[in-house]
Amino acid sequence: MLLAGSVTLNGTADIRFTDGFTPEASDTFQLIDLGTATLTNWFRQVTVPDGWGVSETGQLYTIIVPAPEDADFDDDNLVDGIDFLTWQRGVGGVGTPSTGDANEDALVNNDDLTIWQNQYGGPPIVAGSVGTVPEPSSALILALGLAGLLPTRRLGNRSRRLPLFSRP
């Protein structure tokens, strides 16, 4: 939204995505560009999803989607001692994921160590890594359908009809 003139914003800005839209990690979205406008009042509250942020740079207000936290610095799909050694060698320096920066803030520090501790022993936790799980009814239908494909034995003429009602 590009604004001009004198602008007064009030109330709550509640940021939500609709129609199944899911942003990617590290995406940014321009919320308001004041351009040549003069801002006399800002929203009392800006609500964004957990962990997201709103950045103000001069006349530009931007929504920031956080990068996923990933302490698997050697990309072997396991957060282990080798990843700790990578963090230890890079601590205090400018960071990249390959030098121990788990939260992609361009620093290797204690925040990255905390992420490593939380992910130690398992695969990295990546935002949006939820798979599709079939509903139990779908799994049951699939199992019954597969059972119908199993070979069966014919009983020949051994079957007989039973009357629904018997005579006294």
pLDDT greater at residue 78 or residue 4: 78
162 or 116, which is more confident = 116
Strands 45-47 and 12-14: parallel
DSSP 36: T
Q: What is the pLDDT of residue 114?
A: 93
Give 66 or 76, the one with higher predicted confidence. Answer: 76
Residue pair 128/21 in contact by the 8 Å Cβ criterion:
no
**Stretch among 27-41, 75-89, 103-117 having the lowest mean pLDDT:** 27-41
Higher-scoring residue by pLDDT: 100, 167: 100
Fold of 69-127: Type 1 dockerin domain (1.10.1330)
Query: From CA 142, how far away is CA 158, in angstroms rounded?
Result: 31
- Where do the domains of the chain lie? 6-64, 69-127
Task: Note the pLDDT tens digit of each residue in 99-118.
Answer: 999 988 889 999 999 999 99
Residue 46 binned pLDDT confidence (cut-offs 50, 70, 90): confident
CA distances from 121 to 79, 80, 110, 150, 160 (A): 6, 6, 19, 42, 63
Q: pLDDT tens digit string along 14-27?
A: 877 778 777 777 77
Whole-Å CA distances, 34 to 43, 55, 60, 64 = 14, 14, 6, 18
What are the percentages of helix, strand and coil residues in the chain, rounded to 5? 20, 20, 60
pLDDT computed for residue 69 by the predictor: 86
pLDDT at residue 129, as a whole number: 41
Read off the pLDDT of each residue in 125-150 and give the average, rounded to a whole number. Answer: 50
Q: What is the pLDDT of residue 168?
A: 56
- Give the residue from 59, 89, 56 showing the smallest Cα distance to 74: 89
Question: What is the average pLDDT across 94-100?
Answer: 89
Q: pTM, whole model, 2 decimals?
A: 0.45
């049951």: which residue's tokens? 140
